[in-house]
Amino acid sequence: MGGNQTLHYTSLGELIKMKREDMEISLSELGRLSGVHKSALARIENGETKQPKLQTIKAIADVLELPYKEIVEHYIKIEQRAEVLQELILEAIEVSQFQLIPNVAQKVLASPNEDTYISLERLYNFVDTILNNEIKLLLYGEIITYARQHGVPKYIAKGLLQKYLIEREDFKRLEESYKDGEEIAYYVDFLSLDEQITFYYRMALHAHNIKKYEKCIKFGQMGMEKDKTKNDLKESVALAMCNSYVELEDHVSLHLHLDECEKKKYHFIIRCINYYRAIILSQRGDYEKAIPLLQECLEEVIGIRRLYRLNRLLEALSKSKNVDLIRKLIQSEENDFSFNPVTPHQYAQAGMYYKFKGTFLIENGQFDLGIEQLLQSISYYAMIGSYKDIIECSKEIFYYHAFFKKQTKFEIAGKLNELYNEVTMGEKRE
């Protein structure tokens, strides 16, 4: 369906007739081209058929190039059947007329033939069949608004949860989507048990990714209290809680948590127990014991998992001022280590690595190469909208230029400006 011509008509039949006559097409010819019988066309044009099937109108509209917007607006006025209106939504998606979708959704929800709860349930279940996340967000927004207006907290909760689960995947809006997720806590009792567990676990991982470690632990504990099963998501949350205790340097709670995970045979955790023991030794300043153990732990893993352990080992070596081993480690790791982050935490770890490497190189006589590494660090942090880390790296760059009395090169200033624009454009889109 297409066309930009504005037509004045009082009914869909009149619109079809006007367009057919304008194109000088007979009823017989239109019937042949559209596959709709001539008599059926005549009944539509003279208004005898009050609710023609959408497929029929589609076939006619494709031949006459009728404006899709006007077809949909007509159906919104006359159609009460939810299944037909839902079909219209799918048609709007197919032809990228997204702006029409909220109006159709509102008509589905306001159906006089159905109870408000049933209408919300019907549309909610329908949205689950749609693959396009942009459309899902539009429709969940309509569900949430309508549920608020009509006092149906269950669908406020369910709509907010689904909206959050989509929006949290935008790594550049992690802080904003986390705040949206917090609203769900007010409605959590209206969610099913499985939905509650999903909410708590996803919020725990989200909190960990944006360095809200106390919140990670809190949400993780709430989810585990309700979840009596054993599954990978639960173990991933338990692992994030371990990392949170480490970041908070709460060694007592970490020991208790590790013991509990070991009793429950969480394989993700059991494989990491020596690693966490090494971190505790390092945080307590016992580098003589920590460094060999961290080296052993590094050799236990491959791929992106090496990055976490590498960063911990480099941190311990830096505090113990072991420059030679740091240099050797950086060179050996980068020969066969590919950074390919896919999660926010992995992007943050990559940013941390390049920040460490950049600072190390600058302080050991490789200024230009070190600055390049700091810029690389910023680019990783920009991927997850980690503005605090971006600012810290930028300050490092300017600090070292001032300290070593270096002029800022044009290409470095340009790169910083490019990264700044990328970040601020992301903020504007939000």
- The verdict on 72 and 108 lying in the same domain is no
DSSP track, 174-240? HHHHHHHHHHHGGGGGGS-HHHHHHHHHHHHHHHHHTT-HHHHHHHHHHHHHH--S--HHHHHHHHH
User: Looking at this protein, which amino acid is placed at residue 26?
Assistant: S
CA dist 350 and 341 (Å) reads: 7
Both structure tokens of 203: 């919020």
In whole angstroms, what separates CA 373 from the centre of its chain? 28
- The verdict on 118 and 181 lying in the same domain is yes
Query: 């480099």: which residue's tokens?
Result: 314
**Mean model confidence pLDDT for the chain:** 89
CA dist 142 and 159 (Å) reads: 9
Q: Would residue 372 count as lying in a domain?
A: yes
Both structure tokens of 181: 């997720």
- Which pLDDT score is estimated for 422? 66
DSSP track, 132-185? -HHHHHHHHHHHHHHHHHTT-HHHHHHHHHHHHHHHTT-GGGHHHHHHHHHHHG
Sort 238 into a burial class: Cβ within 10 Å, 0-12 / 13-18 / 19+: buried
pLDDT tens digits, one per residue of 76-123: 777 677 887 888 888 888 777 788 899 889 989 998 878 999 999 999
Quote the domain boundaries for residue 359: 339-423
- The verdict on 333 and 344 lying in the same domain is no
- The verdict on 328 and 416 lying in the same domain is no
- The verdict on 310 and 391 lying in the same domain is no
Q: Would residue 205 count as lying in a domain?
A: no
The pTM score is: 0.85
- Which pLDDT score is estimated for 6? 40
Q: Would residue 405 count as lying in a domain?
A: yes
Which H or E element spans position 28? helix 27-34
CA dist 58 and 50 (Å) reads: 16
- The answer to whether residues 151 and 405 touch, using CB atoms and an 8 Å cutoff, is no
- Which pLDDT score is estimated for 332? 87
- Give how many domains the chain has, as a whole number: 4
- The verdict on 88 and 144 lying in the same domain is yes
- Which pLDDT score is estimated for 9? 45
Both structure tokens of 54: 């959408």
Sort 50 into a burial class: Cβ within 10 Å, 0-12 / 13-18 / 19+: exposed
- The verdict on 305 and 354 lying in the same domain is no
Q: Which of 28, 44, 76 is the last residue of a domain?
A: 76
CA dist 301 and 278 (Å) reads: 15
Q: Which of 167, 191, 215 is the last residue of a domain?
A: 191
- The verdict on 320 and 358 lying in the same domain is no
CA dist 57 and 71 (Å) reads: 8
- Which pLDDT score is estimated for 420? 66
Q: Would residue 278 count as lying in a domain?
A: no
Q: Which of 76, 100, 134 is the last residue of a domain?
A: 76
Q: Would residue 416 count as lying in a domain?
A: yes
- Which pLDDT score is estimated for 337? 66
Q: Would residue 255 count as lying in a domain?
A: no
- The verdict on 375 and 395 lying in the same domain is yes
Q: Would residue 226 count as lying in a domain?
A: no
**Measured between alpha carbons, how far is residue 369 from residues 50, 65, 151, 169, 358 in Å?**
74, 61, 60, 33, 7
Q: What is the pLDDT along the chain (430 residues), one digit of tens a residue?
A: 444 444 344 577 888 888 888 898 999 998 899 898 888 888 888 878 777 777 788 888 888 888 777 777 777 777 677 887 888 888 888 777 788 899 889 989 998 878 999 999 999 999 999 999 999 999 999 999 999 999 999 999 999 999 999 999 999 999 999 999 999 999 999 999 999 999 999 999 999 999 999 999 999 999 999 999 999 999 999 999 999 999 999 999 999 999 999 999 999 899 999 999 999 999 999 999 999 999 999 999 988 889 999 999 999 999 999 999 999 999 888 776 677 899 999 999 999 999 999 999 999 999 999 999 999 999 999 999 998 999 999 999 989 988 888 877 777 777 777 766 666 655 544 4
- Which pLDDT score is estimated for 316? 98
Both structure tokens of 224: 């585990």
Other CB atoms within 10 A of residue 249 CB: 11
Q: Which residues make Cβ contacts (< 8 Å) with residue 65, sequence separation at least 6?
A: 1, 2, 3, 19
- The verdict on 345 and 331 lying in the same domain is no
- The verdict on 311 and 409 lying in the same domain is no
Q: Would residue 107 count as lying in a domain?
A: yes
- The verdict on 316 and 352 lying in the same domain is no
